[in-house]
């Protein structure tokens, strides 16, 4: 099976490309991808589109690059010949943020262009080689912009892989979440770090259960910390 994974330099894309032993496609020079090398080549059995610009607070002059890294990139990748296209979106699809807006538009592009697609909407992801985020900042004792009582839902890269392998024939949209949520304060208490919190509150509500991992967010957090041997 010929598989192509985008965004394979870090995070979920890197994990999936290693597990599936796939071809990889990454942006060049931070803004462009060499998709022309793929677009007119042999058809892929599966393309998994993980690449994105995940800056939740992009405004002003950086807006164009942000949209280019998300919307236009998705448009280019989905044009590469394929039998199945899997787009990694976000659980927070309805949030009023530039990131969520880009994901909504990207989903529309995928559904309009691809004849056989699966859109996965995961909650917050935990895994090796993930970029710095609120979770890693708590583990490192760094300040964050969210409040202590912000509610999160955490799943692992392995959970996404399980959906891809087990639900491969499925079409449409799948929400992916853990059983129970966890607050950022509970995570900081777990690792024993005193965190300087911000004033923005986030709440990920695990109300959709298309594909539930069968574990709680706390279980996934503890497993990640143990697997990564995080030092506090």
Sign (positive/negative) of CA torsion 128, 129, 134, 140?
A: positive
Say what percent of the chain tops pLDDT 90: 56
For 182-230, the pLDDT digits (tens) are: 999 999 999 999 999 999 998 886 655 556 677 899 999 999 998 887 6
State the chain's mean pLDDT as an integer: 86
What is the C-alpha separation between 18 and 156, in angstroms, rounded?
15
Does the pTM exceed 0.75? yes
* Res. 26 pLDDT band, cuts 50 70 90: confident
Cα dist from 67 to 94, 99, 217, whole Å: 17, 9, 31
Q: What is the pLDDT of residue 122?
A: 93
Q: Is the pLDDT of residue 32 over 90?
A: no
Q: What is the pLDDT of residue 187?
A: 97
Buried b (16+ CB within 10 A) or exposed e, 117-133: bbbbbbbbbbbeebeee
For 53-86, the pLDDT digits (tens) are: 766 555 566 676 777 778 888 998 999 999 999 9
Q: What is the pLDDT of residue 171?
A: 75
* Res. 30 pLDDT band, cuts 50 70 90: very low
* Class of the domain covering 1-122: alpha beta
Taken as a whole, the chain contains a residue count of 232
Q: Is the pLDDT of residue 44 over 90?
A: yes
Q: Is the pLDDT of residue 18 over 50?
A: yes
Q: What is the pLDDT of residue 232?
A: 43
Q: Is the pLDDT of residue 133 over 80?
A: yes
């Amino acid at each position: 099976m010929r598989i192509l994974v985008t965004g394979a330099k870090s995070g979920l894309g890197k994990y999936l490309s290693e597990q599936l032993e796939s071809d990889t496609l990454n942006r060049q020079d931070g803004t462009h991808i060499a998709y022309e090398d793929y677009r007119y080549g042999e058809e892929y059995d599966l393309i998994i589109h993980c690449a994105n610009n995940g800056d939740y607070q992009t405004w002003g002059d950086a807006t164009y690059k942000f949209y280019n890294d998300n919307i236009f990139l998705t448009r280019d990748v989905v044009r590469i010949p394929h039998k199945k296209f899997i787009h990694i979106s976000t659980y927070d699809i309805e949030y009023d943020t530039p990131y969520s807006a880009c994901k909504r538009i990207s989903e529309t592009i995928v559904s309009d262009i691809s004849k056989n697609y699966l859109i996965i909407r995961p909650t917050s992801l935990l895994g090796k080689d993930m970029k710095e985020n609120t979770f890693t900042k708590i583990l490192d004792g760094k300040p964050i912009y969210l409040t202590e009582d912000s509610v999160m839902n955490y799943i692992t890269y392995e959970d996404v892989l399980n959906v891809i392998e087990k639900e491969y024939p499925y079409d449409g949209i799948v929400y992916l979440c853990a059983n129970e949520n966890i607050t950022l304060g509970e995570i900081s208490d777990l690792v024993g770090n005193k965190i300087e919190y911000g004033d923005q509150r986030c709440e990920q509500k695990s109300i959709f259960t298309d594909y539930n991992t069968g574990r709680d967010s706390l279980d996934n957090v503890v497993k990640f910390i143990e697997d990564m041997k995080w030092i506090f």
